[in-house]
Structure 1
Amino acid sequence: MDKGEFFQQFVRFTASVHQVTNDMTKEIRIENITTVQYKILELIKVSQPVTLSEISECLHLSLPNASRELKKLIQCQLCEKIIDPNDRRKFDIHLTEKGTALMNKVFQQLEIKFQERINNLTEPELKEIQDAFKILQTKFFG
């Protein structure tokens, strides 16, 4: 196997994933929520609990910027900090009920777009994609 070409396939694949993600989420507008704040809520939804440093690292935000955006989301009552009882300097971030309801609504919209993208695929093609997801998740992204 040509590992250089394999790497190029990986680069094309990840660029495609980013493009599809952008296409699927670009029309989602949440009143008074910026794109960065949406990305924070999305990360919390799929990975909670998260820490401030995880938000910062995953979204390529400085800690002060991540903290400022998180503070705004907390003020909107979309997420909350849960203090570590063993170390009061540490905290985990969770969605509130309001934040969970909002993200569930958003994910319902995303699922509709997803269903549209896969609508014309056959059962064997869907199975093949599902198997590919499993392999990627366990062998590469896991």
Structure 2
Amino acid sequence: MDINSLFYKLMSFTTSVHRVTHELSKDSKSDSITPVQYNILEYIAVSQPVTPSEISDCQYMSMPNTSRELRKLSEKNLIEKIIDTEDRRKQYIRLSNNGEKMMKEAFVTIESRFQNRIQNASKKDLEDIECAIDLL
């Protein structure tokens, strides 16, 4: 196996993932939030509860910027902060009911676009895609 070739396939794959993610989620977010805030909400939706440092790391944001965006999302009543009962310095972030509703609406749009993309895939292709996703 050529490791260099495998690496370039990985780079091509990750670039494609970003492109497809953009195509699927384009115009699916509410106009009341910024793209950065949407990305944070999307991450929280699939990983909650999360810590601010996990958000900062995953979104390639500084902690001050992450804190500012989390404050804005909290002011919009889209997230809730939960204090760890064992370590009161530690916070967890999860979606509020309003945040859950907003992300559910966005995911309905994204799922519809995904369904359109795979509508002609065979059962075998779908099984292969699922296996590949599980592997990655």
Task: Confirm or deny a common fold (TM above 0.5).
Answer: yes
TM bracket (short chain):
over 0.9
- Percent of aligned pairs with the same amino acid: 48
Distance 1:124 1:84 in 2: 45
Letter in 2 for 1:28: S
User: TM-score under structure 2 normalisation?
Assistant: 0.96
Displacement of 1:31 after TM fit? 2.4
Indicate the structure whose relative CO is greater, using CA pairs within 8 Å and at least 6 residues apart.
2
Counterpart Cα distance in 2 of 1:26 and 1:38: 11
Match of 1:41 in 2: 41
Rounded to whole Å, the distance in 1 between the matches of 2:119 and 2:58 is: 31
- 1:3 aligned partner: 3
User: Which residue does 1:29 correspond to in 2?
Assistant: 29
Counterpart position of 1:86: 86
Q: How does 1:105-120 map to 2 (within 5 A)?
A: 105-120=105-120
The reply on whether 1:133 has 2:102 as its aligned counterpart is: no
What is the CA deviation profile of residues 64-107 of structure 1, one whole-angstrom value per residue up to 9, with x for unaligned ones?
Answer: 00000000000111101001122221110010111111111111
Between stretches 2-11 and 22-31, larger displacement belongs to 22-31
The residue matched to 2:102 in structure 1 has which SS?
helix
Structure 2 runs not aligned, ≥5 long: none
**4+ runs of 1 displaced by more than 2 Å?**
none
In the alignment, is the contact (CA less than 8 A) between 2:24 and 2:113 conserved in 1? yes
The answer (yes or no) to whether the contact 2:77–2:96 under 8 Å persists in 1 is yes
What is the RMSD of the two structures over their aligned residues, measured on CA atoms? 0.9
Gaps of 5+ in 1: 137-142
State how far apart, in whole Å, the 1-side matches of 2:85 and 2:131 are. 41
